[in-house]
Structure 1
Amino acid sequence: MTQFLKKSYFVLSSIYIALIAFLCVIFSFIKYYYYEIYKSKIDIFIFSAKDDNIQALFKIILNDYPIFTILILALFCALICIYINIKILKLKFKKYRLKPLMLIFSNLLLILIYVLALRGPFKHVAINVQNYSFSQFEVLNDIMLNPLMAFAWAHKQFKEENKFSFIDTNKAKILEEELFPLFKTSAKNEIAKNAKASIYINLMESFGLNLLEFSDKKHNFLGALDKHFKEDFVFTRFLSSANGTINSFAHLFFLSPFGNISTSSFQKQHLDFTPMQIYKKAGYKVIFIYAGNGSWQNIKNYLNILGIDEIIDENDLIKEYPKAAQTENGYGVADEFMYRKIYEILEKNPTNTLIISLSISNHPPYKIPTNELPILNDIPKALLDKLPYKKDKQENIIKAYIYANNEFGKFLSKVKQSSFKDSIIIAATGDHRVRDLSIDYNTQKALAFGVPFYLYIPKKLQNNIYYDKDRIGSHKDIFPTLYDLSLSEVKYLSLGGRNLLAKINDERLEFGFNEVVWIDKYGIYPKGSNKGYFYENNESLKDNNKDFKLDTYHKNFYENYKNLNYYQLAKRLKLTNE
């Protein structure tokens, strides 16, 4: 029996090693030739072959590439690996008899070393599809990547993309009549025509209302931002469009309900009617600044396709501010360096510039710089109860939240004392909830997915302002609000968005939409529920768990909105028969 197992292991391990060696060599050549053609790592386009003439494609491969030489080399490497494996297995070692505890310890240690060798240090993020860039030279990022891993990422994306579906044009027209027209034109604004103010919109990591609700006079979780929340326009009955960063980013800046568009087969296709395109057509320079890595969700490459003028990521920030490297947490550098760069850009470009930023400091693993933060002597017990972790982690979560808000607040204070304070409009919101906090579905069906929407508008740029801080809204309303404030009579894709600082002229648009819940002034409507829920009061997103029956419009709204949203994206991607 022992001899049988030994021989079986010889055979099976040799087959396994030979197969891995063969695939590694084959994929290394695929990576090389793929980069030669597409100038990128292996991505989802590799699966486009399924739609081509396979026979013709095979002929091209045979004629243009040394396919037989590659196969011979791969087989040779596989045989070499089999030979080495057998040689190792035949080595004779001196036998040691270990005590059971020592044997268990030795094996656990070996497993730990093996995991570390595969993954790398635990304090850093393992290389993944969101974070594989380490150099400003894209060629290095792409050619250094493991081709098998890149292929696996592409295959996962390919499977996800197959879920993309959309309604036909006739159904879409019916939904537009029932819900709202997809396109709108911004208001006539003579002030905006003359001012050409710069716009800065900040998408803040995990800036959720579910933690902000605990902020009060005694417990300041906003830090330096608290002052500006009291001075400027803030909406807190407001939802993020999605519950993940890339999904919210795609909704907000690409107007795409398909969150993976930047890594999909559409990643090299220009997309019309993005907010960036609207501002570029109006003569604006568009800049994207990210405290994280530009390879995240292929965002740097995709934004280039969409015509962004300048893209700055953590590599650029570290190069310009060497101290930023000390704050790197695996996902990016501290927000303060991002705000420092944004301020410098605005000093040089006080007008005609759109800046989009994405912060990172409020993302685990939390690595908070030693800046002075508001002292919290007494954290509310109700908040701690929602954080089912040890004390150190609870404090890190709260400190990261405060740090992120505090740095943005300090940036705003600096702007308001600057020479360009009257020529800049600043908007900020959260990408999603604070995920570490548990959800009480008896009172937080909407609040758990809420984020604030903040606006700084200089007096001289305020035009016919109507402000109701308790007005319902969501991410879909941010750019329609900014268009009315900064542009004049431009056509844009609204998706049900409207100017939150203008009087109500269409009740159908008075709603907020998130991928798991939607709201209007009457109540809260969780996805998949046949009931609506009353608010606790008219100033909060909290509910009292008291339900009411839905009419046909409210019962069908979620699916109708989702269908219309996917239709508009399919139309912009030229997938419809129009």
Structure 2
Amino acid sequence: MGNFGIQIIKLLSLNFIFLFAMSAYRLIFFLYYKTGIDLTGFSKDIASAFFMGLRLDLSVLSAVNAPVVLFFVVFFIIGKSSWLKTFFLGLKYYYTVFIGLLLTVFCIDFNFYSYFKDHLNIMVFGFIEDDTMALVKTFYENYNLFLIGLGVAIIFAGIFYLSKLALKQQKTKFALPNIFIRVAISVVLPFVVFIGVRGSFGYHAIGVYTNVSSNEFLNTTAINYVFTLQRAIDNKARQSRNIDYIAATGYENNIRQAFADYLGKNISEIDKKVPEKSLISKTKQNANIENVKPNVIFILMESLGEDLVKYNSETFNVLGELKKHFDQDIVFRNISSEDSVTVYALEALFLNTFLRDNSFNVSQSEYVYNRYPFASALPYKKSGYETFFIYGDNVAWRNCGEFAASSYYDNVISMRGAGSKDFPAGPWGVFDEYLFNSVFETLSKNSGKKFIFALTTTNHPPFLLPDNYKTLPLEIPQELQNRISDIDNAKLSFATYQYSNEMLGRFITRIKNSPYGDNTIIVVTGDHSSLRYRPESLVNTMRVPLYLYIPKKLKPQNINTKVAGSHMDIFATLYNISLSNAQYMSAGTNLLLPKAENNTLMYKNFIVGKNFAVQYDIAGNKATYYKLGARKELILAPEQKEHKQLLKRFLSATAISDYLIKNTGEKMKK
């Protein structure tokens, strides 16, 4: 065998080493994250996961080598051995850059999964769109950047040394085969790489169908982050393209049918020109409400998930003073946020609508200046309330100040930024106690009814507590420890969760013990959960508590707190306990009504009923059906009648939301 053949074998051997490194990552990922997962009876699926993973890794590696093959073929056909020698010498630089980046991002993906329980996904764009400096500080506070930098340097140096060693050439001249063999190789080689990239001889490329098991963790083990990142990029591109959700959900030129399907009405009952009229309701006349004239305080708590609440105990005290109020007052525990990102939760609550999966967020779009008839603050504004939005940081974040102003908030208050006081703060905003003080001061100023919407920030990584705060007992239960990879960071996370709830509890106590206790309604919910779960446990991920303090004179009787609901249902409920004879427009359900017993959880592209759930991929026009296990885990299931009903509700809700945002409302005069 000549020098040329030896060089080709060396090149192939080098790529096998790269492939081995990628497979080794998958094994480490599997062994590290399988803790607490029952894989009994899944032996074949485990093998399938690693085999699928090998195919996916080979696809990625083939893509990296596609430019290599292209240049090789050109030089090979020309037949210049000196050019080929230079080409092989240059490969060590190419592989150092691209394989180095590939393996480095594997490490990033590993840590990403520890928080989001998913490979790299659309959340990575938050680094650009969110408060980038705060995120940089998050990394600085939580990770040893020196060791990370050293590790990255070792990866790149190792690949360079390995490539240099493997591609080291003999001094003798290349002996190239004849032109016919060179042409044959130049035809076959690109075809082999093409098949490698596709990973399949079938109609679909390998990235289309990667599930190997009914166990979602094994499906996650198989997938390569390159494919999930590509999906994220595609999803982001769809967001920027402004998807026509009405057409995508099957209601093109027939939006009245969407309203009819969602409301369970005949299409003849839906107004032909103004179909949104069907969403208008009116609260009953209530003499107690008219006499009390209640203030309303709505608090959206950062990362107040229902998941940690169930672990609360004297030794693991995550609720603090909030615990006594949870015991005394009304708490709905089967409520879902509509997204895992704060700004989207804010949108759902500001606009009383269901979020459209993979859509733009209104606050950073052309629609931010629209004054919508379904805005949640509008019924209070019309009923003579002065409205306030108070944010623990600067309202310039995600353009929330403009969004609040167009959503009928008379007063938009930043706790940080120009004109604000210099309160002690963390990277994302002032400590929650100062926000609650501001809410109380706002309530105390002047007379007249007030509606106050407050958004907290403290319970957000990097976790930081005030120096004077004394932590209550936090002995982490074993069940939680089994799910945690970084105990030290988890302890600080739980302490911050506790602090926020303690300060909230003290604030509620202060209200109750003041003259405002008899005429102020307090509503609290979380923007999203605090813990991350594996895909099959998504129902736990989406749930947040809904707390209501209602003065005795206004408190309804026989409230069923077990009903399901979503963020868009909260204000439809709140209007009916705080406003008398008031008109409002909302797609949400009043959770106090008997029909709420059949209500659903709606979160991103999921809708969950009592026993079944549906996930719908808008882009792929594909529904995946599940039944709920004993612990509300998602189990793949064949289509049932209940699935069809859930899917109809999800599609019609999505179409209605898109119609409302794009076709109603008037531009606010600035």
C-alpha displacement at 1:233, in angstroms?
A: 0.3
Aligned to 2:365: 264
Residue of structure 1 aligned with 2:600, choices 511, 528, 535: 511
Distance in 1 (alpha carbons) for counterparts of 2:615 and 2:308: 21
Distance in 1 (alpha carbons) for counterparts of 2:375 and 2:259: 20
C-alpha displacement at 1:238, in angstroms?
A: 1.0
Aligned to 1:367: 464
Aligned to 2:399: 298
Distance in 2 (alpha carbons) for counterparts of 1:535 and 1:470: 18
Q: In the TM superposition, what are the counterparts of 1:216-255 in structure 2 within 5 Å?
A: 216-255=313-352
Residue of structure 1 aligned with 2:589, choices 483, 492, 498: 498
Aligned to 1:59: none
Aligned to 1:152: none
Q: In the TM superposition, what are the counterparts of 1:442-521 in structure 2 within 5 Å?
A: 442=536, 444-462=537-555, 464-495=556-587, 497-500=588-591, 502-505=592-595, 510-521=599-610
Distance in 1 (alpha carbons) for counterparts of 2:447 and 2:133: 31
Corresponding residue SS for 1:303? helix
| Alpha-carbon spacing, 1:161–1:255, altered in 2? closer, same or farther (3 Å) | farther
Encode CA deviations 1:65-119: one digit per residue, 9 max, x unaligned: xxxxxxxxxxxxxxxxxxxxxxxxxxxxxxxxxxxxxxxxxxxxxxxxxxxxxxx
Distance in 2 (alpha carbons) for counterparts of 1:377 and 1:165: 48
Give yes or no for the alignment of 1:531 onto 2:632: no
C-alpha displacement at 1:475, in angstroms?
A: 0.7
Aligned to 1:212: 309
Encode CA deviations 1:428-462: one digit per residue, 9 max, x unaligned: 1010122xx341344x2311111100000010122
Corresponding residue SS for 1:459? coil
Number of residue-to-residue matches in the alignment: 413
Residue of structure 1 aligned with 2:279, choices 171, 177, 182: 182
Distance in 2 (alpha carbons) for counterparts of 1:332 and 1:485: 32
CA contact (8 A) 1:351 1:423 kept: no
CA contact (8 A) 1:254 1:275 kept: yes
Aligned to 1:384: 481
CA contact (8 A) 1:261 1:267 kept: yes
Give yes or no for the alignment of 1:341 onto 2:420: no
Encode CA deviations 1:108-167: one digit per residue, 9 max, x unaligned: xxxxxxxxxxxxxxxxxx996545999xxxxxxxxxxxxxxxxxxxxx999844324242
Corresponding letter in the other structure for 1:357: A
Which of structure 1's runs of 4+ aligned residues deviate more than 6 A?
156-159
Distance in 1 (alpha carbons) for counterparts of 2:402 and 2:596: 38
C-alpha displacement at 1:515, in angstroms?
A: 1.0
C-alpha displacement at 1:393, in angstroms?
A: 1.1
Q: In the TM superposition, what are the counterparts of 1:264-343 in structure 2 within 5 Å?
A: 264-315=365-416, 319-320=420-421, 322=422, 324=423, 326-327=424-425, 329-343=426-440
Distance in 2 (alpha carbons) for counterparts of 1:127 and 1:388: 23
C-alpha displacement at 1:276, in angstroms?
A: 1.5
Corresponding letter in the other structure for 1:499: N
Aligned to 1:41: none
C-alpha displacement at 1:169, in angstroms?
A: 7.7
Distance in 2 (alpha carbons) for counterparts of 1:428 and 1:308: 19
Corresponding residue SS for 2:481? helix
| Alpha-carbon spacing, 1:422–1:573, altered in 2? closer, same or farther (3 Å) | same
In structure 2, the gaps of 5 or more residues are: 1-125, 135-234, 264-277, 618-622
Give yes or no for the alignment of 1:201 onto 2:298: yes
| Alpha-carbon spacing, 1:247–1:572, altered in 2? closer, same or farther (3 Å) | same
| Alpha-carbon spacing, 1:163–1:399, altered in 2? closer, same or farther (3 Å) | same
Distance in 1 (alpha carbons) for counterparts of 2:418 and 2:638: 52
Distance in 2 (alpha carbons) for counterparts of 1:207 and 1:506: 23
Aligned to 1:97: none
Quick check: 229-238 or 256-265, which moved more?
256-265
Quick check: 481-490 or 285-294, which moved more?
481-490
Corresponding residue SS for 2:367? coil
CA contact (8 A) 1:536 1:543 kept: yes
Corresponding residue SS for 1:530? strand
Corresponding residue SS for 1:558? helix
Distance in 2 (alpha carbons) for counterparts of 1:516 and 1:433: 17
| Alpha-carbon spacing, 1:525–1:554, altered in 2? closer, same or farther (3 Å) | same
In structure 1, the gaps of 5 or more residues are: 1-125, 135-155
More helix per residue: 1 or 2? 2
Give yes or no for the alignment of 1:543 onto 2:639: no
Corresponding residue SS for 1:315? coil
CA contact (8 A) 1:229 1:454 kept: yes
Encode CA deviations 1:449-496: one digit per residue, 9 max, x unaligned: 11100000010122x43312211111111101110011123222221x
Normalization by structure 1: what TM-score? 0.66
Distance in 1 (alpha carbons) for counterparts of 2:350 and 2:657: 14
Distance in 1 (alpha carbons) for counterparts of 2:260 and 2:338: 23
CA contact (8 A) 1:445 1:517 kept: no
Distance in 1 (alpha carbons) for counterparts of 2:418 and 2:482: 38
Normalization by structure 2: what TM-score? 0.57
Residue of structure 1 aligned with 2:524, choices 417, 422, 428: 428
| Alpha-carbon spacing, 1:317–1:414, altered in 2? closer, same or farther (3 Å) | farther
Corresponding letter in the other structure for 1:414: R
Aligned to 1:565: 657
Corresponding letter in the other structure for 2:549: Y
| Alpha-carbon spacing, 1:371–1:491, altered in 2? closer, same or farther (3 Å) | same
Encode CA deviations 1:23-64: one digit per residue, 9 max, x unaligned: xxxxxxxxxxxxxxxxxxxxxxxxxxxxxxxxxxxxxxxxxx
| Alpha-carbon spacing, 1:506–1:224, altered in 2? closer, same or farther (3 Å) | closer
CA contact (8 A) 2:304 2:526 kept: yes
Distance in 2 (alpha carbons) for counterparts of 1:522 and 1:128: 39
| Alpha-carbon spacing, 1:229–1:535, altered in 2? closer, same or farther (3 Å) | farther
C-alpha displacement at 1:526, in angstroms?
A: 3.7
